[in-house]
Chains A and B, each alone.
Chain A
Amino acid sequence: MPAPVLELRGVRVNGRQQPRLDRIDLSVQPGERIALLGPSGAGKSTLLAVANGLQAMDQGQVLWSGEPIAKGARLRRRQQRRIGTLWQELRLIDELSVQQNLNCGRLAQWGWPRALLNLLLPLETEACSAALRQLDLDPSLLNQSVADLSGGQRQRVAIARLLRQDPVLWLADEPLSSLDPRLAQDLLALLLQQTEAPRALVMSLHRPDLLAGFSRVVGLREGRILFDVPANALKDEALQRLYAGTPAP
């Protein structure tokens, strides 16, 4: 059996008054698509930040493809190349062209000279075109500024950037929350389509009605895992317990 793409063991992150994450154990196998549910402030974004190495832990261990997070910065960066994150606000660079943004997915692999050259003469046009085509975008967009794109196009460019990065573990931090229902469905379908084995997806979301394509659902409340069940075994009572005393999701 292959090593889990991501494993969290007894992770704790302290907060001001109570822990933001407490005794989190989570294992993600290749091919799994995990939905992370929970009310605001439950710790979903913190869990994803721990998973991609941006948030330091106070206790516990994170394993990426069976390896603990390296202590040295250089090695850790090498490990992080295998992890891609789709952010809610996308974090594209508005001042750069679509092609330069797509190539941001390759920056960790490139040395300084290529990174600088890409700012002068955008590189790897063929691979960027292919990534756009994969997401039903016209390659003629490559030279456009990202700031000129529509909301839907920006979402797809952000996913295409992940395709250029080609990570094994895809993390998505509430990418659907500010989208209209139709756009949210389209984006989710795209993400599920791109994250077949050996890739894996962990996505935080607020919408229990969008769980159809996920293999597992993890409920998080007050920094703790309340349930971790196959998506088809999720009961309404579990959701009610998860959101009890909070505004309806």
Chain B
Amino acid sequence: MKVSAPLQVLVPAAVILPLAVVLPGLCHGGGWELIGAFAAGALQPSLDPIVLASLFRGLGVTVGVALVGWALSLLLGLVLGLASSRLVWTTLLGGAWPAELLRRVLALPRSVHELIWGLLLLQVLGLQPAVAVLAIVIPYGALVARVISDQLDALPDQPLQALLAAGSNGPAALISAIAPPLLPGVISYGGYRLECALRSATLLGVFGLGGLGNELLLTLQSLEFRELWSGLWLLLAVMLGLESLIRGLRQRWGMANRFGRSQAGVGRRGQEITLLALALVPLLIAIARSLGIDPAALLQWQALPPMDLDHWREALALPWGRMISNTLGLTLLAACLAVGGAPLLLLLVAPWRLGQLLLRLVWALGRLWPPPLTALLLLFVFKPGIWTAALALGFHNLGILGRLLLEGAESCSDGPETALRGQGVGPRVALLYGRFSGLARSYLAYGAYRSDVILRETVVVGLMAGTGLGSQLQESLSSFAWDQIALLLVVYASLTLVGEDLSDRARRRLL
């Protein structure tokens, strides 16, 4: 018995069965009227000018933080990516050890979620606008560096060897041989990182680092659902606008989407891209100024409390086994809900155009709605714990994977599905056999990558839903227990690095 490709994308959705069994027991009896009021608020967002002005101010901060953080992380990522490329060092020095060393060093900033960076920097630097930007720049820069160095090292080296053999010097040969094939992928990935930066900036706001996220949290905590929805619709409009702008630019510049199937010419419209990049520089400087970012303030560190041996003993006595197993369980549940849920929902609504539109809207909301806020909302009706946290995290990632699935469906051939429709096969079975077969491997490969991201994100919902390492981290942060915080970070970073390695292996097998 072999599970065929189209069925493989649905297998993770089997997690719905235990969820259906567990869910009724999780209800604590009240709160449904609040959920009803929240849902009703969607249709009646507040149009109060004072509320809207405050939301617009918050949105401006969030978008500003996202843009500055994104641009700096791309710049940092580009430099570190080149510096951690085996190809670059081998060409320049004849050995790749500096690249290997830097890759290992960069694994640490990459493995820690931007929210954790934000909370740590908040302790060290105090509340200032640059904290949110730095919290994005550090992990994103390391992530971009890894993607760039991986792409560089995967490029065929014949053009480079040909230039070196013809007598070109190392740096000139490198620029000529690697820049043209590298840039389209980097720019396409850069667009994706901008969407992520907007989501991260919103999330950082939820945890007190300013912007719209903070407004959303306050309106939710004060049960002002109409005001909450005003903010959500605003954010949705910005997010969808940004996504369609990036999609439009990708198509215009002939660059691959994340399924990598629609690439056209390499380096097309180079002038246009360069001009746009140059125009961004003064804009970003103006945004940074308006946010009140002061680089000098970053040098004023606050002293950390001393750590003594007794405290370490206490830190070691924490229930590590339970925390780690909860974190891993939460990752697995949320990943299954997201990876399996997206194709399952797409199949369910396949016969109805209106259903498909609604699903797109719900997925868009899931993408932009920070998971801790979903967790807070779910806590109105469910008890805190691993399942509630998994639902919150799963919903957010479902939105991301759902859009990926749609992108994949659009980029793979519709021939088999049309053929099945033409012989009278229903829309669901035609979609399952005709479309999911072709995109199953690339979708699951992305799902493997996403699971690794989900593991990193567990700490974010854990802070709210009271489970896993995140829950303990919140307690340790509030009591300034730096020994516990240090240990928690080591364990968390180790887990995410192991997860990253496993997801890499899974992706290599699938692709």
A-binding segment of B4-12, B117-125, B255-263: B4-12
Is the CB of B282 closer than 8 A to any CB of chain A?
Answer: no
Q: Are A52 and B422 in contact (CB under 8 A)?
A: yes
Q: Are B429 and A112 in contact (CB under 8 A)?
A: yes
Residues of B within 8 A of A (CB): 1-7, 351, 415-416, 418-426, 428-430, 432-434, 437-438, 440-441
Is the CB of A61 closer than 8 A to any CB of chain B?
Answer: no
Residue of A with least CB distance to B438: A95
Given A85-B419, A91-B418: A77 and B7 within 8 A (CB)?
Answer: no
A87 to B419, CA, bound (A): 8
- Option from A77, A110, A120 in Cβ contact (under 8 Å) with B3: A120
Q: Are A93 and B437 in contact (CB under 8 A)?
A: yes
B-binding segment of A12-20, A99-107, A226-234: A99-107
Q: Are A107 and B415 in contact (CB under 8 A)?
A: no
B418 / chain A contacts, CB cutoff of 8 Å: 54, 91
Which label, helix, strand, loop or mixed, suits the secondary structure of the B interface? Answer: helix
21 CB-based A-B contacts, threshold 8 Å: A76-B424, A77-B426, A80-B424, A81-B424, A89-B415, A93-B416, A93-B433, A93-B438, A95-B440, A96-B437, A104-B420, A105-B423, A107-B429, A110-B429, A115-B429, A115-B432, A119-B432, A120-B1, A120-B4, A120-B7, A121-B1
A248 / chain B contacts, CB cutoff of 8 Å: none
Most buried by A among B351, B420, B426, B441: B426
Q: How far is the CB of A210 from chain B (nearest CB, A)?
A: 24
Q: How far is the CB of A132 from chain B (nearest CB, A)?
A: 19
A107 to B4, CA, bound (A): 16
A92 / chain B contacts, CB cutoff of 8 Å: 416
A165 to B424, CA, bound (A): 10
A72 to B2, CA, bound (A): 37
Q: Are A78 and B424 in contact (CB under 8 A)?
A: yes
- Option from B4, B420, B430 in Cβ contact (under 8 Å) with A119: B4
- Option from A83, A94, A112 in Cβ contact (under 8 Å) with B423: A83
A121 to B432, CA, bound (A): 16
Residue of A with least CB distance to B421: A54
A108 to B401, CA, bound (A): 29
Residue of B with least CB distance to A86: B419
Q: Are B424 and A104 in contact (CB under 8 A)?
A: no
Residue of B with least CB distance to A52: B422
A73-B351, A95-B5, A107-B429 given; 11 more Cβ-contact pairs under 8 Å: A53-B422, A84-B423, A87-B419, A93-B416, A94-B437, A97-B4, A107-B420, A108-B423, A108-B424, A116-B7, A119-B433
A73 to B419, CA, bound (A): 16
Q: Are A80 and B422 in contact (CB under 8 A)?
A: yes
B5 / chain A contacts, CB cutoff of 8 Å: 95-96
Q: Which of A43-66 contact B (CB under 8 A)?
A: 52-54
A93 to B426, CA, bound (A): 17
Q: Are B422 and A79 in contact (CB under 8 A)?
A: no
B428 / chain A contacts, CB cutoff of 8 Å: 112
Residues of A within 8 A of B (CB): 52-54, 73, 76-81, 83-85, 87, 89, 91-97, 100, 104-105, 107-108, 110, 112, 115-116, 119-121, 165, 167
Q: Top 4 closest A-B pairs, CB basis?
A: A80-B424, A108-B424, A91-B419, A81-B424
A211 to B2, CA, bound (A): 44
A153 to B3, CA, bound (A): 24
Q: How far is the CB of B501 from chain A (nearest CB, A)?
A: 27
Most buried by B among A53, A87, A95: A95
Q: Are A107 and B351 in contact (CB under 8 A)?
A: no
A105 / chain B contacts, CB cutoff of 8 Å: 423
A120 to B418, CA, bound (A): 23
A110 to B432, CA, bound (A): 14
Q: Are A79 and B424 in contact (CB under 8 A)?
A: yes
- Option from B3, B7, B415, B423 in Cβ contact (under 8 Å) with A81: B423
B426 / chain A contacts, CB cutoff of 8 Å: 77, 108
Residue of B with least CB distance to A110: B429
Q: How far is the CB of A163 from chain B (nearest CB, A)?
A: 13
A81 to B425, CA, bound (A): 8
A87 to B438, CA, bound (A): 18
B425 / chain A contacts, CB cutoff of 8 Å: 77, 104, 107-108
Residue of B with least CB distance to A105: B423
Q: How far is the CB of A107 from chain B (nearest CB, A)?
A: 5
Q: Are A80 and B423 in contact (CB under 8 A)?
A: yes
Q: Are B424 and A91 in contact (CB under 8 A)?
A: no
Residue of A with least CB distance to B417: A91
Given A89-B415, A108-B423: A95 and B1 within 8 A (CB)?
Answer: no
A94 to B434, CA, bound (A): 10
A22 to B30, CA, bound (A): 65
- Option from A53, A73, A79, A96 in Cβ contact (under 8 Å) with B4: A96
A72 to B7, CA, bound (A): 29
A81 to B429, CA, bound (A): 14
Q: Are A91 and B7 in contact (CB under 8 A)?
A: no
Q: How far is the CB of A64 from chain B (nearest CB, A)?
A: 11
A100 to B3, CA, bound (A): 12
Most buried by A among B424, B433, B437: B424
Q: How far is the CB of A23 from chain B (nearest CB, A)?
A: 24
Q: How far is the CB of B22 from chain A (nearest CB, A)?
A: 25
B420 / chain A contacts, CB cutoff of 8 Å: 104, 107
Q: How far is the CB of A87 from chain B (nearest CB, A)?
A: 6
A116 / chain B contacts, CB cutoff of 8 Å: 7
Q: Are A91 and B423 in contact (CB under 8 A)?
A: no
Q: Are A85 and B416 in contact (CB under 8 A)?
A: no
Residue of B with least CB distance to A49: B422
Most buried by A among B416, B418, B434: B416
Residue of A with least CB distance to B3: A120
B437 / chain A contacts, CB cutoff of 8 Å: 93-96
B434 / chain A contacts, CB cutoff of 8 Å: 93
Given A89-B415, A95-B437: A119 and B423 within 8 A (CB)?
Answer: no
A79 / chain B contacts, CB cutoff of 8 Å: 424
